[in-house]
């Protein structure tokens, strides 16, 4: 009787650990996909030196500080 109870507890513990592992894997994959989708492009203004991030990769973007049009500095 004790052996059966010990087996049941060990199976439940193994199942709980497996569920936690699967949740961890799910959230890591989800976070990686979200980060990949949220590409930010870094722009540096040639006029005032202001550095800003935008999610669009356009040939030219205007600086939010001075209005100068700039190209992508780094993505």
Mean pLDDT of 6-22: 89
Closest alpha carbon to 73 in 31, 60, 25, 65: 60
- pLDDT for position 25: 96
Q: What pLDDT band is residue 12 in, cutting at 50, 70 and 90?
A: confident
17-70 pLDDT, tens digit per residue, is: 999 999 999 999 998 887 766 667 888 899 999 998 887 767 788 899 998 988
Domain extents for the chain? Answer: 1-38, 39-75
Q: Which two tokens stand for residue 31?
A: 């976070």
Distance of alpha carbon 33 from alpha carbon 61, whole angstroms:
26
Distance of alpha carbon 49 from alpha carbon 40, whole angstroms:
18
- pLDDT for position 48: 93
Kind of pairing between the strands at 72-74 and 51-54: unpaired
pTM of the model: 0.46
């Amino acid at each position: 009787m004790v052996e059966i109870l010990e087996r049941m507890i060990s199976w439940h513990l193994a199942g709980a650990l497996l569920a936690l592992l699967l949740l961890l894997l799910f959230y890591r994959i989800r976070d990686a996909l979200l980060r990949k989708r949220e590409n930010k492009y870094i722009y540096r203004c040639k006029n005032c030196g202001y550095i800003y991030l935008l999610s669009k990769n356009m040939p030219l973007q205007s600086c939010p500080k001075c209005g100068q049009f700039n190209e992508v500095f780094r993505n």
